[in-house]
Amino acid sequence: MAAAVPAVSDHDYDARPPAGAMDAALRRIEELEAAVRRLSLVQQPQLRRFCVSDEDFRYYTRFPSERIFYNLYTLQVVEVM
Q: How do the domains of the chain map onto residue ranges?
A: 46-81
In this structure, the number of other CB atoms found within 10 A of the CB of residue 69 comes to 18
Higher-pLDDT residue of 56 and 39 is 56
Q: Are 20 and 30 in contact (CB under 8 A)?
A: no
Question: Strand runs (DSSP E) across the chain, as ranges?
Answer: none
Residue 15 has pLDDT above 80, yes or no: no
What pLDDT is stored for residue 31 in this prediction?
96
With a CB cutoff of 8 Å and minimum separation 6, the contacts of 45 are 73
Residue 29 has pLDDT above 90, yes or no: yes
